[in-house]
């Protein structure tokens, strides 16, 4: 990434857009660098890191007092059992082993009951979480595709079809829609370094990396709905379409493409 320069009357200046210097990325894209926003982001992230470190150190200090105790529930049950025993019986001959067995049994039963209750609660919470996640994906992710200005202005695919192609790249995290590339890395904004890319910017990055992007972009010289003209293969005017773009169409559109004589490519 380098600073974009302009020459006026023999003098060289940095190009400025909305009060921000313009930088040129290695792929040729120009972005106005928000230095103030970047400094604020770095300061915020440093503060968060300090808070997390201090919380971790405090937790580790408290845990040292419980070193050697592997099962907290069993320890509590054993203490409660011992507290309720008649102290005098501990001194009676032949009762020590019986008391030990009673303590062990009570502890094991308490741990088993607690584990069963926890397992049932976790299963119920997971089912509830799965339902909520489906609802969030349907509204937050599906809604973004349906309302996206980038999808409407730049792609020949309607929102639902675009979601079939790119939907797996988006997840809900902390109530926000977060995009990931094909390698599983979060997509960060170029205009706002350190911040997660907004939906439309993330879509632009994903489309740029899509191997069949010419078949889904408007104004690329190809037919709509993901079709492409002759690729110089000697078939002169043959209509072709990528299989992935075809699979994203609704049944009626698929039928129309087949009737028009489109050939699918991998």
Q: Please tell me what DSSP assigns to residue 214.
A: G
With a cut of 90, say whether residue 233 has pLDDT above it.
no
pLDDT value for 165: 94
Residue that finishes a domain, picked among 60, 89, 107 = 60
pLDDT value for 62: 83
Establish if 199 belongs to a structural domain. no
- Domain enclosing residue 250, as ranges: 211-266
* Longest Cα–Cα distance in the chain: 108
Establish if 110 belongs to a structural domain. yes
Establish if 204 belongs to a structural domain. no
Kindly report, residue by residue over 38-97, the tens digit of the pLDDT.
Answer: 888 888 888 888 998 998 888 888 878 777 777 778 777 777 776 666 555 555 655 777
Kindly report, residue by residue over 115-142, the tens digit of the pLDDT.
Answer: 988 888 888 888 887 777 777 677 789 9
Measured between its terminal Cα atoms, the distance across the chain in Å is 35
Establish if 88 belongs to a structural domain. yes
pLDDT value for 66: 75
Residue that finishes a domain, picked among 100, 127, 145 = 145
Establish if 169 belongs to a structural domain. no
Q: What is the mean pLDDT of residues 206-232?
A: 68
The residue ranking higher by pLDDT, 102 or 133, is: 102
139 and 199 in contact (C-beta within 8 Å)? no
Question: 229: which 2 tokens?
Answer: 């003209």
261 burial (CB, 10 Å; 0-12 / 13-18 / 19+) is exposed
Same domain (yes/no): 137, 88: yes
> pTM of the full predicted structure?
0.43
pLDDT value for 224: 42
Q: pLDDT category, 4, cuts 50, 70, 90?
A: confident
SS3 217: strand
Q: How far apart are CA 54 and CA 51, in angstroms?
A: 5
- Of 26-40, 114-128, 137-151, 216-230, the one with minimum mean pLDDT is 216-230
Which of 211, 193, 41 has its CA nearest to residue 201?
A: 193
Q: How far apart are CA 211 and CA 196, in angstroms?
A: 24
pLDDT value for 141: 92
Q: How far apart are CA 48 and CA 149, in angstroms?
A: 33
Q: What is the mean pLDDT of residues 251-263?
A: 76
Q: What is the mean pLDDT of residues 172-184?
A: 92
pLDDT value for 183: 93
pLDDT value for 195: 94
Establish if 184 belongs to a structural domain. no
Residue that finishes a domain, picked among 130, 145, 160 = 145
Establish if 235 belongs to a structural domain. yes
Same domain (yes/no): 55, 78: no
Kindly report, residue by residue over 236-249, the tens digit of the pLDDT.
Answer: 456 777 878 878 88
Same domain (yes/no): 51, 109: no
Establish if 261 belongs to a structural domain. yes
Q: pLDDT category, 201, cuts 50, 70, 90?
A: very high
Domain tally for the chain? 3
């Amino acid at each position: 990434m380098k600073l974009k320069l302009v020459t006026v009357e023999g003098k060289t200046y940095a190009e400025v857009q909305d009060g921000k210097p313009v930088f040129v990325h290695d792929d040729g894209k120009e972005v106005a660098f928000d230095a103030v926003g970047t400094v604020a982001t770095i300061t915020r992230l440093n503060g968060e890191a300090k808070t997390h470190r201090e919380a971790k150190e405090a937790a580790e200090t408290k845990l040292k007092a419980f070193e050697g105790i592997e099962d907290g529930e069993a320890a509590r049950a054993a203490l409660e059992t011992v507290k309720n025993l008649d102290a005098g019986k501990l001194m009676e001959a032949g009762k020590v082993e019986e008391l030990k067995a009673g303590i062990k049994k009570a502890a094991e039963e308490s741990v088993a009951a607690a584990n069963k209750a926890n397992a049932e609660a976790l299963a119920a919470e997971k089912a509830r979480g799965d339902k909520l996640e489906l609802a969030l994906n349907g509204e937050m992710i599906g809604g973004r595709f349906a309302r996206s200005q980038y999808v409407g202005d730049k792609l020949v695919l309607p929102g639902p079809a675009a979601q079939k192609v790119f939907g797996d790249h988006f997840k809900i995290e902390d109530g926000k829609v977060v995009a990931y590339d094909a390698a599983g890395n979060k997509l960060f904004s170029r205009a706002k370094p350190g911040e997660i890319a907004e939906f439309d910017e993330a879509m632009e990055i994903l489309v740029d990396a899509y191997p069949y992007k010419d078949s889904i972009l408007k104004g690329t010289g190809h037919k709509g709905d993901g079709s492409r003209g002759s690729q110089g293969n000697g078939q002169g005017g043959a209509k072709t379409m990528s299989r992935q773009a075809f699979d994203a169409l609704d049944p009626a559109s698929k039928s129309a493409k087949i009737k028009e004589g489109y050939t699918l490519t991998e």
